[in-house]
Amino acid sequence: MALRRALVATVIVVAGFVGGLVISGRLSQTQSATATQTAPASQVQGRATTLTTSATLPDLSSVAEQALKVSANISSTTVIEPPNDPISRWFYGNQAQRSQSLGSGVVVSPDGYVLTNRHVIGNAGAEIRVTLPDGAERPGKLVGIDEISDLAVVKVEAQNLQTLPWGDSEQLRVAEWVLAIGNPFQLSGTVTLGIVSTVRRRAEQVGAYQDFIQTDAAINPGNSGGALINARGELVGINTMIYTETGGYQGIGFAIPSNKARAIMRELIEHGSVTWGSLGDVRWATVNGEAARRFDLGSNTGVLVWQISRSAPAYRAGLQPGDVVLAFNGTPVTDAEQLDRLIVGSKVGTTAKLELVRSNGRRLTLDIPVVSRQQAAGSMRR
């Protein structure tokens, strides 16, 4: 027990989005700097002449016109009930508070299904209003919402709406032209142009469960849930968040790839929720290099089992508090966030292999059934 407490004291718990990522206009405390070297005037002039004569920007006006015909504005109002305890009521009052969120959406079916971000909607009890591309405002019914992917589907009563073809996000290339469509700062019908900066920004770099398309097309608060379109007029992503020092555009935006968004959308429409993998109620914590050396783990940094519920499938399979997980299905794990992503992305009904080391130095491999997060939550309530 003393060893476990000491080990826990030396681990770093990793959770949530990394600093600087904004999905609703929060400010970052990060700083960045660039260094440039000035070339002689003759060299600059020569390069400018070459670029002017050889480079031609594409005309994407027709693509933008079609994209605007599928862009929706979404307003969501959530009622926040006052707290129950008397001390909080004394500070915050007894009146319910109304919180409003404004964002964008993409019409994805002629009969009124609209894809957007979960954080644009807020929660399942929100009152939703959707302004369609023709300017008509309609009440929206929440079809499905998923916190992990940050996606939601809303349905409005409409027919014969225009849609865009889905693009294959796996075929995107760095420096390919893209358009971001949305409602930044309530300025509806805004189109911005940029390129694909990175085709697969790794999830661990942005603190999320999936990889993202990174773009320098201007994305600002209110663009969330809007479309990212390629030069062929195909939907290749759903704009979701930005990296910023000011709360506004600084050239680093992120979109959920269309292949992932489309698959999740289908599950939301068919089932109202998404089935993600789980090993039960397990709390993980990252073991850093110093802790590994201190407790004779050698170079085996990994993830500590900090807490585990006795009802968890992982516990029943033999996982214990104090175990340090070294690999998941053969993939070495180095931090708690990475392990969470691997578990969440596992197919329900399969078996996960966890390679680990016990506090006594014994190494072993456990086979643990992967259940759905809903099933895991249900076992906790029993």
**183: which 2 tokens?**
């409602």
Residue 60 DSSP code: -
Place of tokens 């085709």: 199
The DSSP code for 267 is H
Q: Which of the residues are catalytic?
A: 119, 150, 224
Tokens, residue 185: 């700062």
Spatial separation of the C-alpha atoms in residues 221 and 244, rounded to whole Å: 11
List the structure tokens of 126.
């929100």
Cα distance between residue 47 and residue 353, in whole Å: 56
> What amino acid occupies position 13?
V
User: Cα-flanking dihedrals φ and ψ of residue 378, to 5°?
Assistant: -65, -35
Report d(CA 263, CA 300) in Å as an integer.
Answer: 36
The structure tokens listed for 341 are 């992503």
Residue 341 to residue 337: CA distance in whole angstroms: 6
Give the Cα separation of 349 and 371 in Å (integer).
6
Q: How far apart are CA 321 and CA 304, in angstroms?
A: 8
Given phi > 0 = left and psi -120 to 50 = alpha, else beta, which region is 280? Answer: left
- The 10 Å Cβ neighbour count of residue 318 is 13
Q: Dihedral of CA 164/170/171/172: which sign?
A: positive
Q: Within 13 Å, how many C-alpha atoms sit on residue 79's CB side?
A: 5
- Phi/psi region, residue 222 (left: phi>0; alpha: psi -120 to 50; beta: rest), is left
